[in-house]
Amino acid sequence: MIKPHGAETLTPLYVSDDAERAELIKEADNLPSVLISSGAAASAVMLASGYFTPLTGYMNIAEAVSVASEMQLPNGLFWPVPIMNIVSDDQLSDRIKNAERITLRDPNVDGNSPLAIMKVSAIEQISEEQKQLIIEKTFGTTDPEHPGVPAFADVGDNVLSGLIDVLNYSYFPTDFPGTFRTAVEIREDITKRGWETVVAFQTRNPMHRAHEELCKIAQRDVDADGVLIHMLLGKLKPGDIPAAVRDAAIRTMVDHYFPENTVSITGYGFDMLYAGPREALLHAVFRQNCGATHFIVGRDHAGAGDFYGPFDAQTIFDDIPEDALEIEIFRGNWTMWCNKCNKIIMMGDCPHGPDDYFSISGTKMREMLGAGEQLPPEISRPEVAEILMEYYQNEAN
């Protein structure tokens, strides 16, 4: 199986020993505590799960600036997106400032229970110049209309860095018991299935017909044993379809339209960044950590609005060192319905022209559903359309 990124084995930060974890949970109640942001909490879950191997905690300012500017840590490790814990002034008490170890409390669960214990390496004040540099390099813009920009800019100015021991996986195992999986568990499942070549597909949306066919084309072209459909389960921007609805829609599609034991449906606990090209690189990193040998990067991958070109998330892979990643990228072209072929095709694989094509997109699908329009079979499988229409009708009521 493909090696994890920058390591021989995964380095999950979840404290798996029951006795050790119980002691740490006791200690957490007596330590100074800070309520962290949803993004920092999601990063803790990713660190706990082994997805962010080989990181051991949150980055300091110098590390974050290096990652933003050079896409590598000061030690030379390729990493495309800063992983930071930034808090506001009202969270930074004197007890926190003078502590060697602190409790990180979860903003996404009732009671804000302890999520992790952090060994504080540094508490630094980030300057506006440093913050703007990180935002511009990560998101390619400082426009506050980009959903990722205010999520980073408005969280605070105090950067807490250091190693963490993670005590739980937040709300993800409870809310998504059949879907949330750690990188460790996914690797174990791939081994159990006997898969050697695995193509991973990222989604934050229900899968329309073009997504389905893209997975099948990629599986065929790389001769993969299976497809890892790996959905984001964390926070999204307004208007995106909730994870539980996506989960049901994707499972229904796979049950009806994929051969048995060719697809693994899983999810991961992270908040969407909408960072386009940089996020595509991060997605590739943690799919390598999952054990996938190939990763599909399609049109407008991880984008938002018109902030990125349709294939910017593919071309950025041409700008990184050849040895930065071991996982291989499968580049998806425009995918659409051809009336003459009477099926979904990928641009370049069909002899017909634009007059014969029916364009498919998640945006179009959401617009039609929001308007109460029935999804045609060219866009969605009927079983999937039924689930989505029921959700939108309930939302309207």
Rounded to whole angstroms, how far apart are CA atoms 218 and 216?
Answer: 5
Rounded to whole angstroms, how far apart are CA atoms 205 and 367?
Answer: 13
Give yes or no for a contact between 292 and 327, defined as CB atoms under 8 angstroms apart: yes
> Catalytic site residue 251?
no
Q: Which of 187, 204, 278, 381 is catalytic?
A: 204
Residue 41 token pair: 């909490």
Give yes or no for a contact between 272 and 204, defined as CB atoms under 8 angstroms apart: yes
Pick from 49, 41, 187: nearest CA to 103: 41
> Catalytic site residue 85?
no
Q: Which of 60, 108, 158, 205 is catalytic?
A: 205
Torsion, Cα 86 91 94 96, to 10 degrees, reads -50
Give yes or no for a contact between 126 and 87, defined as CB atoms under 8 angstroms apart: no
- The CB-based long-range contact list for 25-32 (8 Å cut-off, 24+ gap) reads 25/114, 25/167, 27/101, 27/117, 28/103, 28/114, 28/117, 28/167, 29/103, 29/114, 31/99, 31/101, 31/102, 31/103, 31/117, 32/93, 32/95, 32/96, 32/99, 32/102, 32/103
Q: Is the peptide bond before 54 cis (omega within 30 degrees of 0)?
A: yes
What is the length of the chain? 397
Amino acid at 71: M
Pick from 156, 146, 147: nearest CA to 125: 156
Give yes or no for a contact between 233 and 243, defined as CB atoms under 8 angstroms apart: yes
Give yes or no for a contact between 143 and 149, defined as CB atoms under 8 angstroms apart: yes
Which residues form the catalytic set?
A: 204-205
